[in-house]
Amino acid sequence: MSTTTTPTPPTSTPAPDEGFRFRDISKMMGGGQSTLRQFGILGSLVVIILIFQFWTGGLTLSPGNLINVVNQYSYILILAIGMVMVIIMGHIDLSVGSVAAFVGIVVAKSMADWHFPWWGAILLGLALGVLVGAWQGFWVAFVGVPAFIVTLAGMLLFRGLNQFVGKSLTVPVPDEFRVMGSGFLPEIGDFARYNWPTVILGVLLVLGLVYLEFRKRRLEAKTGSSPDPLWVPIVRLGLLAAAIIYVTWLFSTGRYGTSFPVSGLILVGLVALYAFVTTKTVIGRHVYAVGGNRHAAELSGVRSKRVNFLVMLNMSVMASLAGMMFVARSTSSGPADGVGWELDAIAAVFIGGAAVSGGVGTVIGSIVGGLVMAVLNNGLQLLSVGADMQSIIKGLVLLIAVAIDVYNKSQGRRSIIGMLMNGLKSNQPPTTADETTRTSDIIAAPEPAEPAK
């Protein structure tokens, strides 16, 4: 009796590179997470820089001005890192400026009147940020008071505490403390007139990006998934490396004694840390899950109250750090510190692609949005534009950035902000279900146990 054998289907292998495809351009900024909105924000930043570079006669990209921009706006960008997580959760924090001012005056008085060492004052400021965040997080997460109300009360409360503790006076800080806000990487020799620590930092950053890219491709090959065409990472790395090398050259060739600021170093470290936390950790996935659909997240086992508490606590810690950096840069703490900071941080997050309804936003996008506002402010100041026109222009930029996304939704088109997280998956118009955050895609599924040997 003859038997028939069923042929075994061939195993699937990753598809080879197919050359240039126009849709692969959307992968230039990271594959599925890339969208036209990211290109639009980044493109807007480049265009604004080039316009002001021309109008100011080359002052915008001069080493001295670039150093000033980092020192002047690093604390706002740090606030934006914390604020993007708050907005992803569907909240707004209006108290960050007052919290920063309150922590700043306490830290300044701890060194001036209570004889704390500079490092002890920094630890005191961070601990105070934890206490303030726990206070506000308790009301939001466990009592259920809307964050808008809690932080509005906090804005009044901590502004009053700033004036009560400081007696509405200016309190100076010592030179050792000022390094975190106005210090620079040290000079090592005078070879070829470059600041070598800055050069080394730039080279390490480029090498790190190359390593991460090829590590990603190796992991994709091991798992059997199809990697991007080879030209995509090559072009992406080439553009990023060229930009990093150029910026490194600018920072390393400034006036002797100036280089990449310490405040910028702190900012870069926080961006790397929080980009990892929000994209690669369980708590980061839970933030997106609760912000997108709290009830669905709770049904999936997410403890939404704890997530809300941690996000509000983290925001106050970031505000305390920003406040200390501002005091260090301005050499003293005063009653007017922190006024309007919350508005700048919120504007940076929304321009960077966050959604008003929550569930959408990225740390990198918020930094780019903050840089758009920083370069815009700096360029207008270089052109001697009045403060009234600066406020008008910034308000219009924020309004237009959000209105474009709202208009696309009202016309039944893909939400540009929504695509920031979901990617360009199809050419079909979205349905209601498509726009709903899929908690199962956000919350990491448990890894299967290895079979017993």
Whether 106 is covered by a domain: the verdict is yes
Whether 142 is covered by a domain: the verdict is yes
Name the pTM for this structure: 0.82
Domain that holds residue 376: 48-183+261-424
Whether 292 is covered by a domain: the verdict is yes
Q: What is the pLDDT of residues 399-437, one digit of tens each?
A: 887 776 566 556 554 444 444 444 433 333 443 333 334
Give residue 83's pLDDT band: very low, low, confident or very high (50, 70, 90): very high
* Distance in angstroms (rounded) separating the CA atoms of residues 425 and 23: 11
Rounded average pLDDT over 142-167: 94
Whether 107 is covered by a domain: the verdict is yes
Residues 216 and 288 in one domain: no
Residues 273 and 372 in one domain: yes
219 or 35, higher pLDDT: 219
Residues 240 and 102 in one domain: no
Whether 62 is covered by a domain: the verdict is yes
Residue 184 three-state SS: strand
Supply the DSSP string of 15-57, one letter for each residue. Answer: PPP----GGGGGGTTTGGG--HHHHHHHHHHHHHHHHHHHHTT
pLDDT at position 284 is 93
Residues 239 and 271 in one domain: no
Whether 440 is covered by a domain: the verdict is no
Residues 157 and 292 in one domain: yes
pLDDT at position 43 is 79
Residues 302 and 229 in one domain: no
* Distance in angstroms (rounded) separating the CA atoms of residues 175 and 449: 56
Residues 78 and 201 in one domain: no
Do 155 and 341 meet the contact criterion of CB atoms below 8 Å apart?
Answer: no
Residues 276 and 412 in one domain: yes
What is each CA distance from 50 to 36, 47, 57, 245, 358, in whole angstroms?
A: 21, 5, 11, 18, 33
Whether 324 is covered by a domain: the verdict is yes
pLDDT at position 406 is 64
- Residue 448: is its pLDDT beyond 50? no
| Backbone phi, psi, residue 171, to 5° | -115, 115
Least confident of 142-146, 230-234, 325-329: 230-234
Residues 164 and 72 in one domain: yes
Give residue 142's pLDDT band: very low, low, confident or very high (50, 70, 90): very high
Give residue 192's pLDDT band: very low, low, confident or very high (50, 70, 90): low
Whether 41 is covered by a domain: the verdict is no
The alpha helices in 331-359, defined as continuous H runs, are: 341-351
pLDDT at position 425 is 39
| Domain-ending residue, one of 202, 231, 259 | 259
Rounded average pLDDT over 167-171: 89
| Domain-ending residue, one of 227, 259, 291 | 259
Least confident of 25-39, 326-340, 363-377: 25-39
- Residue 438: is its pLDDT beyond 80? no
| Domain-ending residue, one of 242, 259, 276 | 259
Q: Domain count for the chain, please give it.
A: 2
Residues 52 and 175 in one domain: yes
Least confident of 20-34, 63-77, 279-293, 362-376: 20-34
* Distance in angstroms (rounded) separating the CA atoms of residues 204 and 82: 26
Residues 251 and 288 in one domain: no
Residues 248 and 282 in one domain: no
Share of the chain above pLDDT 90, in %: 52
